[in-house]
Structure 1
Amino acid sequence: MFNLESKTPKILVIGDLMIDHYVWGQCERISPEAPVQVVDVKSESNRLGGACNVVSNLAALNAQVFVCGVIGSDDAGLWLGDKLESMGVDISYLFVDTARPTTKKTRIIISNQQVLRVDRESKMPVDSEIIDDIKQRLQAAINEVDCVIISDYGKGLLSVDLTQYIIKHAKSCSKIILCDPKGKDYSKYKGATLLTPNKKEAQEATGIDIVDEHTLIEAGMAIKMQCELEISLITLSEDGIGLFENHTMRQIPTVAKEVFDVTGAGDTVIAALGFALSGGCDILQACEFANVAAAVVVGKVGSASATHSEILQYHTQYFSCNESKFVSQEMLLHILQGLKQSKVVFTNGCFDILHRGHLTYLAKARSLGDVLIVGINSDDSVMRLKGENRPINSLEDRAYMLCGLECVDYVVSFSSDTPLELIKAIKPDVLVKGGDYHNKVVVGSEFAKEVVLIDFVEGKSTTKIIHKIQQRGE
């Protein structure tokens, strides 16, 4: 459980400030002037976007937030400043550039479907005199905070010069520095504590075609070396978060149940990471906190935020069967340190549609020792092994069902085609596989004290269940 309720870290967000403007309407006719839809507007609303969404997420977590950015001398800029101030955010470091508009993105939505987006913005570099003022003012701000978050959307504020100025000064003051990067050249973020690119952004920045775990690790390590990071991070959408160190990956699985809108999820992740790290969490705990925060947000519509109580409630509900069962590899190894006197049993599989055969197999496996650990293939891994129409159930759903079994003590996911590296790390006392492995080499057997083969229940398999359903549907 996350012990952050009493924390009030001071966090400075520097970046491209935006307004997300939503227009909801109906369309029942085509314009006589041109072959386009006519939208009858029913309602409109403004929401904080870009770096402002990072600020909003931090404010929802009750952090003490300072924001630095540039707005225009227009109505949108006035609204944005008033909105941030009403949330208790320190806006002392907002700068007005009369030569540029406040960035505003208007989304036209008909029947819950976005049909058009209109952007009002300037991507030209911010005036050099304003940049000089920002540098001068930021020195005192950085000294005052625990963490600096750079939210780069490529709108002209965060040049290489300003970004490096911020990072070097913050680093000299021993501050946590998190960057949500933009563009292909990540050298501008050199010296930061952590970057938070998604898989697509990491691929573009490194030039590495990320197609499997090996290339993912390669990309993560490339970013680590280029930016001189102690540890590298890539957000993996439905697969959670990947941490990269010493040419290995630690994956923190997502806990999202339903996804309605991924807008702003990246902002939520970096805000939650900054909050947790500033509150004393280690990187693993911070990533798990960020994962839950993102799960809360993608269950809402539009750029949204997650409060601390929402995160705790979601965490409790998701792991209600046993909140400690579905763990990351890092957390599992930590747990095993305290179970050295226990006989540890390990088995693995896809467990796509849980059936009687699985239950019998797992119960027998559990009877062989004191602790049963079940390794479960990630969704991508199942697809590679079983075909493009699998899995039927997502990793989160498969893990949740396994966690509900009394015979299962811990569930851990792996993204490769075999659990070799996982078995190597765990070094179980007993490695269990199905009876179909008779006269076959069991992957990872050299890292276990004993290998036991358990016969499957005849006629029970996920493939046969799927085939039966397909036959009845014909």
Structure 2
Amino acid sequence: MIKIDKIPNILVIGDLMIDEYLWGSCERISPEAPVQIVDINKESKVLGGAGNVINNLISLGANVEVLSVIGNDEAGLEVKQMLNSKNVKASLIEQKERKTSRKTRLMASHSQVVRYDKESKNDISQDSVKYLYEKFQEKINFFDMVLISDYNKGVLTRELLQKVITSANKNNKKVLVDPKGSDFSKYKGAYLLTPNKKEAEQETGIKIINETSLKDVLRILKNNADLSVSLVTLSENGIAILDDEGKVITKPTVAREVFDVTGAGDTVLASLGFALSLGYDISTSMEFANLAAGVVVGKLGSATVSMDEIEEYKASLHKSSIELHIKTKEEIELISKRLKNQNKKIVFTNGCFDILHKGHVSYLNVAKSFGDILILGLNSDSSVKRLKGEDRPINSEDDRAYILSALECVDYVVIFEEDTPYELIKMIQPDILVKGADYEGKEIVGSDISKVTKLVEFIDGKSTTKTIEKIKKATN
């Protein structure tokens, strides 16, 4: 894992756009045509295209600046506002009669139903090329790395690319490119390109079916674009490069689950650039990029990745799917902050949960229904003994945590040693605190911290104490 001993300064050049999402549910078919009817209940917008590279770099901790061309339109204004909100310095030229790209995705039950685009794809004007290159010349010595994010929308013309790459090489600055199109010669002289398997096959005319064909593809890419490093991303098979001795080196993927590959290429470009700008070699940078990609493909939409997510993800690779839900206090603090940044509603409850029964499961299901994420504070063995007596708990804290983590309604379990979970609640800052209905009229620990406190009725006749008494009677 890489260590950050400085904040890298990275320049991004490319096509900026708005990624718009319309979120809804689908329960019926239109009587007008055989199509789904989606009831929209939420809309969201994020920077897309080169903007997703920027988002990832910011999330990783880099200082970022951007050069691009936008239209004099509503989407262009939204792009500028989003960049300003992120404190990203931007040298943008507004070109008349040009449409800033807007991609709108209709999402139903977390699946993409349709996408429609509004944009210009023609090359930018000569005046725009001149402006961008002049700005590049002014700024090049302030940056550790140049990332080019090409979405084939006309900003990155052959002329501009060659001017930028030539100037960067003269100033000993690496240029990394996420390419598009069928002619990679326009990126000639770049340090590396990040084509996916399909793009690399189209460019070389060779189908990648084994290591021999992969080696041929990498060799042709290197020669045709005069690259320092020849690289291909291979989806679930990771990232491959051709080393200095002409051997193929593959770093396998580390994705646990794949929900959406939207923007994964942007994350690879950003994370490679970030690691290389810190002085790491290409092998270490590839491993870092693989981890970053493994995080984002487990999210919906064009996603970003942070250093703590990558650290957490790397540690999770050696755990079972159930153990992944058991967190330390340090881990849950970082997770809670991240969830709040994502506007997730956090629900918290706590207890001993010694012998799990129907009443517990019902209670936890109701608790989860109040928000997006349920975090359960679990009393440690020593804490249970102080509260319940020397003959408790029946099940150890490890066993209790494991069983609770296997429940679909429980997102995270964190064990606490204290008699009350006050410090844990203070750390998590939940939106909703849940306790049993038997706390009606009593002081509830943490109610001064959470926004809302809710009480949940228990199922009559279901309790750990009664279960233990029944077992004792049966054994006497």
TM-score w.r.t. the length of structure 1 is 0.65
How far the C-alpha of 1:84 sits from its partner, in A, is: 1.6
What is the deviation of 1:143? 2.0
Task: Tell me whether 311-320 or 279-288 shows the greater mean CA deviation.
Answer: 311-320
Determine if the alignment matches structure 1 residue 257 to structure 2 residue 260.
no
Distance apart, 1:88 and its partner CA: 2.2
Q: Determine helix, strand or coil for the equivalent of 1:169.
A: helix
Aligned: 1:180 with 2:167:
no
Percent identity reads 51
CA distance in 2, matches of 1:240, 1:15: 25
Residue of structure 1 in register with 2:276 after alignment: 277
User: Secondary structure of 1:217's partner?
Assistant: helix
Distance 2:209 2:311 in 1: 34
1:225-240 aligned within 5 A = 225-240=223-238
Q: Report deviation, 1:320.
A: 6.5
How far off is 1:224 after superposition? 0.7
Match of 1:3 in 2: 3
In the TM superposition, residue 274 of structure 1 has moved relative to its aligned partner by 0.5
CA contact (8 A) 2:14 2:156 kept: yes
Three-state SS of the structure 2 residue aligned to 1:258 is coil
User: What SS does the corresponding residue of 1:88 show, helix, strand or coil?
Assistant: coil
Which residue number in structure 1 is paired with residue 311 of structure 2?
312
Q: 2:148 & 2:298 partners in 1: Cα distance?
A: 25
Report the Cα distance in structure 1 between the residues aligned to 2:275 and 2:127, rounded to whole angstroms: 35
Distance (Å, rounded) in 1 between the aligned partners of 2:207 and 2:187:
22
Alignment partners' CA distance in 2, 1:286 and 1:44? 35
1:8-36 C-alpha deviation (Å, 9 max, x unpaired): 11100000111111111234444455444
Name the structure 1 match of 2:408: none
Partner of 2:107: 109
Maintained 8 Å contact 1:21/1:47? yes
Equivalent residue in structure 2 for 1:135, among 114, 133, 136: 133
Distance 1:316 1:23 in 2: 34
Distance in structure 2 (CA, Å) of the matches to 1:259 and 1:64: 29
Residue deviations 1:368-397, cap 9 Å, x none?
xxxxxxxxxxxxxxxxxxxxxxxxxxxxxx
Q: Distance in 2 between matches of 1:167 and 1:232?
A: 16
Q: Does 1:75 align with 2:91?
A: no
5+ residue gaps, structure 1: 322-474
Q: How many Å apart are 1:111 and its aligned residue?
A: 2.3
Quote the residue 2:212 is aligned against: 214
Contact 1:24 1:43 in 2 (8 A): yes
Q: Distance in 2 between matches of 1:200 and 1:57?
A: 24
Distance 1:162 1:193 in 2: 17
Question: CA–CA distance in 2 between the matches of 1:201 and 1:163?
Answer: 19
CA contact (8 A) 2:190 2:228 kept: no
The corresponding residue for 2:335 is none
- CA deviations on 1:172-209 (whole Å, 9 max, x unpaired) are 10001101111111111111111110111100011111
Q: 1:110 to 1:317 in 2, by over 3 A?
A: closer
Partner SS for 1:260? coil
1:218 and 1:247 in contact (8 A); partners too: no
Find the counterpart in structure 1 of residue 57 from structure 2: 58
Residue by residue over 1:41-93, the C-alpha shift from the partner in whole angstroms, topping out at 9 and shown as x without a partner, is 211111221110000000001101011111222222122111122112111x1
- Tell me by how many angstroms 1:289 deviates: 0.7
Deviations, residues 331-361 of structure 1 (Å, cap 9, x unaligned): xxxxxxxxxxxxxxxxxxxxxxxxxxxxxxx
Segment drifting more, 157-166 vs 223-232: 223-232
How far apart are residue 159 of structure 1 and its match? 1.0
1:15 is the counterpart of 2:14: yes
Q: 2:222 is matched with which residue?
A: 224
- For the 8 Å contact 1:2–1:312, the answer to whether it is kept is no
> Secondary structure in 2 aligned to 1:55?
helix
Q: In the TM superposition, what are the counterparts of 1:42-53 in structure 2 within 5 Å? A: 42-53=41-52
- Report how far residue 293 of structure 1 moved: 0.7
CA distance in 2, matches of 1:57, 1:162: 24
Contact map agreement 1:24 1:110 (CA 8 A) in 2: yes
Runs (4+) of structure 1 exceeding 6 A deviation are none
**Cα separation, 1, equivalents of 2:76 and 2:182:** 29
Structure 1 letter corresponding to 2:73: D
* CA distance, structure 1, for counterparts of residue 195 and residue 213 of structure 2: 15
SS in 2 for 1:100: coil
TM-score if structure 2 supplies the norm length? 0.65
Pick closer, same or farther for the CA change 1:138–1:214 going to 2, 3 Å: same
What secondary structure does 2:272 align onto?
helix
Tell me the alpha carbon deviations over residues 241-278 of structure 1, each in whole angstroms, 9 at most, x when there is no partner. 10113432011111111111111011000100101000
Q: How many aligned residue pairs are there? A: 319
Distance 2:294 2:314 in 1: 10
1:120 aligned onto 2:115:
no
Distance across 2 between alignment mates of 1:28 and 1:311? 37
| Distance in 2 (alpha carbons) for counterparts of 1:160 and 1:115 | 35
Residues 403-442 of structure 1 aligned to structure 2 (within 5 Å): none
Q: C-alpha offsets along residues 97-146 of structure 1, whole Å, 9 cap, x if unaligned?
A: 22111101011112222221110011111122122111111111222111
- Alpha-carbon shift at residue 40 of structure 1 (Å): 2.4
Please give the alpha-carbon distance, in whole angstroms, between the structure 1 residues aligned to 2:228 and 2:30: 57
Query: Within 1, Cα distance between the matches of 2:296 and 2:35?
Result: 34
Over aligned residue pairs, what C-alpha RMSD do you find? 1.6
- The corresponding residue for 1:335 is none
Per the alignment, in what secondary structure is the counterpart of residue 8 of structure 1? coil
SS of structure 2 residue aligned to 1:140? helix
Question: The residue matched to 2:181 in structure 1 has which SS?
Answer: coil
Distance 1:37 1:249 in 2: 47
Alpha-carbon separation, structure 2, partners of 1:38 and 1:255:
37
Residues 253 and 36 of structure 1: is their aligned pair in 2 closer, same or farther, counting only changes over 3 Å? Answer: closer
Distance 1:312 1:26, change over 3 A: closer
